[in-house]
């Protein structure tokens, strides 16, 4: 490791910690709320870099807060991988002449780099992060309840333009809030644990109210990561109590609230749609259309393996496949392939897919390495961090969640926040 000689001014640490909390607070409970938190984090990251660079040049370190940890090879690797995803996206967009919105989404990965730098040089307040998560989920649940009960919408979608990312992001945040409640409970902070547990239940309600089916794939992943991080003999009794409380909350949501009844109907319909496609070739439904879209993309990818197809070019190619009778005409009505991995492979080629997989796998592995760390806080944050790329990989099987501004912003900023918080906890544990 190479130590960073300069300290961060205390007010900038407060700025970065508050901005991270605001990001989670507004993510689902306000229109474009992720932009507010993201903008504050970006400005703070730039300010931290300028301040620490100035202090380093002047040779002064007084008046600041201690570093979370030394800048490491893992930090640099994450930065390089974020940059690689941006560069491969930019190369494909410019090569194909695609609209600027695709370059804008790729740029979010590069913009996360100064945020990561700022967060790693700041002193974060973990309670602020947990409070932001819990209050943000309570806000999301309120919005979901209002949309279903008073607006009469069939599925809660919050302010993020679609029910699917709203529900999936709420589920991830709910899991993190639950892990925070476990940490607080094991530290005997019972009132704080109860507050975070209420936040987790609110997030679960928002997820169920969205009737998002693809997010269910992530739940076994969460359970496996939590078991790896938490299962110890001395913590078994409180964990069993927490699991009982969560199970009771799930039962109440599914059995009593209208959101649960909506979700049950959606999940039953998914099985019927799959049978209709598998037995009758009916692609004119949600499940069948997705499977047919994957089929058309996998037919086309071998023809342009390196940099893929431009979006407009692919639309013309797709029409040719329909006219040739190779795919169902219903596919033409879809805006994308409904699979994050196939979408990247199709439009950015093997180079884009390789960069994306490298970021997802490497970041997940870095967190997973700490799942058995001696310090409980490190293990909990490692579990939360590992669940992010793992969950987005699961979500990406049935939707292009990172093709949306809210999805990519949540992913890259949560990755930097959780990584910095975990590295700080590591440094604190070492004393």
**CA–CA dist 18, 294 (Å, integer):** 42
Contact 64, 10 (CB under 8 A): yes
Please name which of 90, 113, 127, 157 lies closest in space to residue 425, comparing C-alpha atoms. Answer: 127
Q: Answer for the pair 207, 199: CB distance below 8 angstroms, yes or no.
A: no
The residue written with tokens 């508050």 in the block is 18
Residue 63, pLDDT score: 45
Task: Tell me how far CA of residue 225 lies from CA of 66, 168, 237, 362, in angstroms.
Answer: 31, 17, 18, 16
Q: What's the rounded Cα separation, in Å, for the pair 387 and 373?
A: 16
Phi then psi dihedrals of residue 393, to 5 deg: -65, -40
pLDDT at 327: 81
For residues 401 and 394, give the distance between their C-alpha atoms in angstroms, rounded to a whole number: 10
Q: What is the DSSP string of 117-159?
A: HHHHTS---HHHHHHHHHHHHHHHHHHHHHHHHTS--SS--TT
Owner of token pair 């990519």: 408
8 A C-beta contact, residue 164 and residue 270: no
pLDDT in tens, the chain (431 residues): 344 445 678 889 999 999 999 999 999 999 888 999 999 999 999 999 888 766 555 554 444 454 445 678 999 999 999 999 999 999 999 999 988 888 988 999 999 999 999 999 999 999 999 999 999 999 999 999 999 888 888 888 888 778 899 999 999 999 999 999 999 998 989 999 999 999 999 999 999 888 887 788 898 899 999 999 988 756 555 556 556 655 666 555 555 555 444 545 555 555 565 555 555 555 555 666 777 888 888 999 999 999 999 988 988 888 888 888 788 777 777 778 889 999 999 999 999 999 999 999 999 999 999 999 999 999 999 999 999 999 999 999 888 999 888 999 999 999 999 999 999 999 998 87
Structural element, H or E, at residue 84: helix 73-96
10 Å CB burial of residue 407 (0-12, 13-18, 19+) is: buried
Q: How many helices (H) and strands (E) does the chain have?
A: 15, 2
CA–CA gap between residue 412 and residue 410 (Å, rounded):
6
Structure tokens at 375: 């310090």
Q: Domain locations in the chain?
A: 8-57+68-262+339-430
Q: Which residues pair with 20 in a beta bridge?
A: none
- Alpha carbon 119 to chain centroid, angstroms: 18
| Dist CA 122 CA 9 (whole Å) | 8
Query: 223 CB contacts (<8 Å, ≥6 apart)?
Result: none
Residues facing residue 65 across a β-bridge? 8
């Amino acid at each position: 490791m190479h130590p960073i000689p300069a300290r961060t001014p205390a007010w900038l640490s407060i700025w970065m910690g508050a901005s991270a909390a605001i990001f989670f607070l507004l993510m689902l409970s306000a229109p474009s709320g992720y932009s507010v938190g993201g903008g504050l984090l970006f400005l703070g990251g730039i300010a931290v870099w300028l301040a620490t660079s100035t202090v380093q040049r002047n040779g002064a370190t007084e008046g600041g807060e201690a570093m979370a940890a030394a800048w490491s090879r893992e930090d640099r690797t994450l930065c390089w991988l974020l940059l690689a995803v941006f560069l491969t996206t930019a190369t494909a967009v410019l090569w194909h002449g695609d609209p600027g919105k695709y370059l804008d989404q790729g740029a979010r990965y590069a913009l996360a780099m100064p945020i990561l730098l700022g967060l790693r040089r700041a002193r974060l307040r973990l309670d602020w992060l947990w409070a932001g998560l819990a209050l943000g989920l309570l806000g999301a649940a309120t919005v979901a309840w209002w949309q279903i009960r008073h607006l009469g919408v069939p599925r809660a979608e919050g302010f993020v333009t679609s029910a699917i990312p709203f529900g999936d992001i709420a589920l991830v945040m709910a899991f993190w809030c639950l892990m925070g409640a476990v940490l607080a409970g094991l530290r005997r902070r019972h009132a704080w644990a109860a507050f975070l547990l209420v936040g987790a239940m609110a997030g679960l309600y928002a997820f169920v109210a969205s009737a998002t089916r693809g997010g269910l794939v992530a739940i076994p992943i969460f359970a496996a990561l939590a078991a790896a991080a938490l299962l110890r003999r001395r913590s078994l009794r409180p964990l069993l109590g927490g699991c009982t409380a969560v199970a009771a909350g799930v039962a109440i949501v599914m059995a009593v609230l209208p959101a649960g009844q909506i979700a049950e109907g959606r999940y039953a319909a998914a099985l019927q749609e799959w049978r209709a496609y598998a037995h009758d070739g009916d692609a004119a439904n949600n499940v069948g259309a997705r499977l047919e879209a994957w089929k058309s993309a996998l037919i086309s990818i071998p023809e342009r393996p390196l940099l893929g197809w431009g979006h407009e070019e692919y639309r013309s190619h797709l029409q040719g496949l329909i006219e040739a009778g190779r795919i169902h005409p219903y596919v033409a009505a879809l805006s994308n392939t409904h699979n994050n991995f196939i979408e990247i492979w199709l439009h950015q080629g093997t180079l884009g897919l390789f960069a994306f997989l490298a970021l997802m796998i490497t970041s997940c592995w870095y967190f997973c390495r700490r799942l058995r760390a001696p310090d409980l806080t490190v293990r909990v944050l490692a579990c939360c961090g590992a669940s992010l790329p793992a969950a987005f990989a699961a979500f990406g099987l049935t939707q292009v969640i990172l093709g949306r501004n809210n999805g990519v912003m949540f992913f890259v900023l949560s990755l930097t926040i959780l990584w910095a918080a975990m590295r700080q906890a590591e440094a604190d544990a070492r004393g």
